[in-house]
Structure 1
């Protein structure tokens, strides 16, 4: 029988080191997020925390987390009914960013003939600046391009949302107009800027 000596601290150090060695050996055999999550739990510190974050399809069990995020980020959040409709009505593609089963972002795309429309793209304030808005946008653009019936990707954004506007411009979206008094605001109504991106 082998017994570790040197107290709890040394045992934990060795366990972590063994975990790191093992994780490198088996990493190439990971076939699912479940594999990665399993090793992260058994050997804490052996998996890069960033690698535990992922984008996946939205599920009905995500609704409560998304509602909470909506209420955190927006002064005029979507309702549960709107979110449920987007998930059950044909023609929508819904995605979430997840960190060890905690949702921290999401995007909703409405797909029609010739056009697809980004209905919502949101990232938790704690995760903003980490590139996850861009990753969600990458996912949405890829989905739109997969749909051979879609030529153009459209969106509206508040005129005052400068970070979002900068991101869309970086991806090649072009301003095509404005919708006056489109959004509710503390001062009455706020204009929306309309953008379009060719995807065919």
Structure 2
């Protein structure tokens, strides 16, 4: 797959040997990255994680889960050196295609303060369905999450 900026991407499933590099990537872009055990859940089928590679280097990843006709985007990240090149759009597109056979809706939470991410999701056909008070840890305590959804039909 090629991004809108012409970057060639290869997607593959997370393997045990990838966890350290995925955690290092996430630590570059998240204030409160996931624990190792969260990524290990991707290896036993509770969650599903795909990596985006460019020239043999992991440049992003996406984690999803589905059950009962609903899907959830649990995590998505793009390396700072590859942001704003369409990698996130490609990862989200992959996630939608993987979840679509199992779910009619895809949900996610996003920090209320993350305006860039909210605008990205709105461009990608997500709409607001609610809020979760005090959902995310923050440097000053807790932060609310905006709940977004996208129809997959």
Aligned equivalent of 1:81, options 31, 34, 37: 37
Aligned equivalent of 1:141, options 96, 99, 113: 96
Q: Normalized per residue, which structure has more strand?
A: 2
Aligned equivalent of 1:158, options 105, 111, 116: 111
Distance in 2 between the 1:50 and 1:174 partners? 28
* Residue 111 (structure 1) aligns with: 66
RMSD, matched Cα:
1.4
Question: What TM-score do you get using the length of structure 1 for normalisation?
Answer: 0.70
The answer on 1:176 being equivalent to 2:129 is yes
Moved over 3 A (4+): none
Residue deviations 1:135-160 (CA, integer Å, cap 9, x gap): 0000011111122xx11100000011
Higher relative contact order (CA 8 A, sep 6+): 2
* Residue 193 (structure 1) aligns with: 146
Give the deviation of 1:101 after TM superposition.
Answer: 2.4
Structure 2 contact 107–148 (Cα < 8 Å) conserved? yes
Question: What TM-score do you get using the length of structure 2 for normalisation?
Answer: 0.90
Q: Based on CA coordinates, which of the two structures has the bigger radius of gyration?
A: 1
Distance in 2 between the 1:152 and 1:87 partners? 24
Distance in 2 between the 1:191 and 1:80 partners? 24
TM-aligned CA distance change 1:135 to 1:57, over 3 Å:
same
Give the deviation of 1:129 after TM superposition.
Answer: 0.4
Distance in 2 between the 1:50 and 1:76 partners? 28
Distance in 1 between the 2:129 and 2:61 partners? 25
Q: Runs of 5+ in structure 2 lacking a partner?
A: 1-5
Structure 2 contact 14–42 (Cα < 8 Å) conserved? no
* Residue 18 (structure 2) aligns with: 62
Aligned equivalent of 2:51, options 71, 96, 111: 96
Give the deviation of 1:114 after TM superposition.
Answer: 1.2
Q: Normalized per residue, which structure has more helix?
A: 1
Give the deviation of 1:91 after TM superposition.
Answer: 4.1
* Residue 130 (structure 1) aligns with: 85
Structure 2 contact 42–49 (Cα < 8 Å) conserved? yes
Structure 1 contact 93–111 (Cα < 8 Å) conserved? no
* Residue 75 (structure 2) aligns with: 120
